[in-house]
Amino acid sequence: MNPIIYAIPVFFALIGIELWVAHRRRANAYNFADAVCSIGLGAMSQVSGIFSKLVMLGIYVAVYEHLRLFSLDLRSVAAWLSGLLLYDFLYYWHHRMGHQVGVLWAAHVVHHQSEEFNLSTALRQTSSGFLFGWLFYLPMAVLGFPPLLFVAVGLIDLLYQYWIHTEQIGKLGWFDRVFASPSNHRVHHGVNDRYLDKNYGGILILWDRLFGTYADEDADEPVIYGTRSPLRRYDPVWSNLEVYAALARDAWRTRRWRDKLAVWWKPPGWRPGDLAASEAKPAFDPYVRSKYAPRVAPAVQIHVGVQFLLLMLIGADCLARAEQLPLAWGLGYAAWATASLVALCAWLEGRRRALVFDLVRLAVALAALGFSGRWFGAQWGGAVLLAIAAALAASMVAAVLVAFAATRRPTVASEP
Ligand SMILES: [Zn+2]
Ligand SMILES: [Zn+2]
């Protein structure tokens, strides 16, 4: 079973503590819609990971089986320590390239789209990292680190980074200059000139100091979070496709063949000469922009909150069972859960079509349950299935009532 499932209660408990600490300090740490979107993107990346890790791990295992130079022992402490150190070093370069190569940024951008910075931001992960991510870790396979060790140290590196996404922990002295920490990772998420493209380290920030990408957080310059081309959407599918679409558009529109290829590996923000000449873009100023915050009725927020909690349970079930399910059921379940998240985010964007999305996805699940007599392949008893059917039907009624309650036309409001 996916070990992340065991971490989920810890993630939520720590978010609860962060909310409580921020509340006591009268700080506004969370934006409801942003947090729903970030946590949803994390769930989506885990669910898509069920299928994509077959590619990533499959290549690692193939290289390990056929091309390894040494055979490191799983029982050796030195192998584990050197494996973690090497993974963290390779992660540094993977992450740095993720910010400096267009097509890699297209995957990593998801982690940076939030204009807030809290523990939910840590969960905001890409669903397309598997496309090129595996390339960076092949040296570990060649050196003979067993696949189990590789997966475990990767998980340790990822889980470590959870706690560094918070504004509630200040500077930590020497720790900030040795390890990745809340202070130096706030810098990483900044779009201010002095913070941009700094502090890539996963566990050790020493890599940044060694390779010249380290920056300290300056108390006189508050970090402005997000990206320099703000997403201004909550849609989780578009979050994942945004930059790929922009790169494909540029590659299509630019005339020179050299530029059509260069678009993919040049740094984010690079424009082919002929396109840049025809677009007058104002200079970037992080201090003049406003946060994306569509205003929606309280009824919509309550509906999305309830449906989101149910969807998290469904996501955990999907993670727990998808590997054992026949592929068609597993893919169908993952696609339905993703469509559900799209519907909830459409409500948060104040879109009129949210009601239609929501009713269609609920009706599809109800029909699938009715025809197959199962909840996406699960062998559950009649009483459970009846309860699920009742919950789906009640959700449809609630969606219609919420749409009536939210009669005031949603408007897009901006916070200064
Ligand atoms: Zn990054
Ligand atoms: Zn981060």
**pLDDT, tens digit, 9 for 90 and up, residues 67-86:** 999 999 999 999 999 999 99
Average of per-residue pLDDT across 19-29: 95
Structural domain boundaries of the chain? 4-211, 295-415
Query: Average pLDDT, stretch 263-291?
Result: 83
Q: Quote the percentage of the chain above a pLDDT of 70.
A: 96
Q: Which ligand has the minimum distance to the alpha carbon of residue 122?
A: 2
The string of pLDDT tens digits covering residues 124-140 is: 999 999 999 999 999 99
Report the chain's mean pLDDT, rounded to a whole number. 93
pLDDT value of residue 409: 55
The pLDDT assigned to 78 comes to 97
Which ligand minimizes its atom distance to the CA of 164?
A: 2
Q: How far is the CA of 148 from the centre of ligand 2 (A)?
A: 25
Q: What pLDDT is attached to residue 1? A: 66
pLDDT the model gives residue 166 = 98
Q: pLDDT (tens digit, 9 = 90+) per residue, 45-68?
A: 999 998 888 888 999 999 999 999
pLDDT surpassing 90 at residue 379? no
- Report how far ligand 1's centroid is from the alpha carbon of 107 (Å): 10
225 pLDDT band (50/70/90 cuts)? very high
Mean pLDDT of 340-347: 97
Residue range 254-265: average pLDDT?
94
Is residue 168's pLDDT more than 50? yes
* CA of residue 189 to ligand 1 center, whole Å: 7
In angstroms, the CA 390 to CA 385 distance is 9
**Residue 35 CA to ligand 1 centre (angstroms):** 18
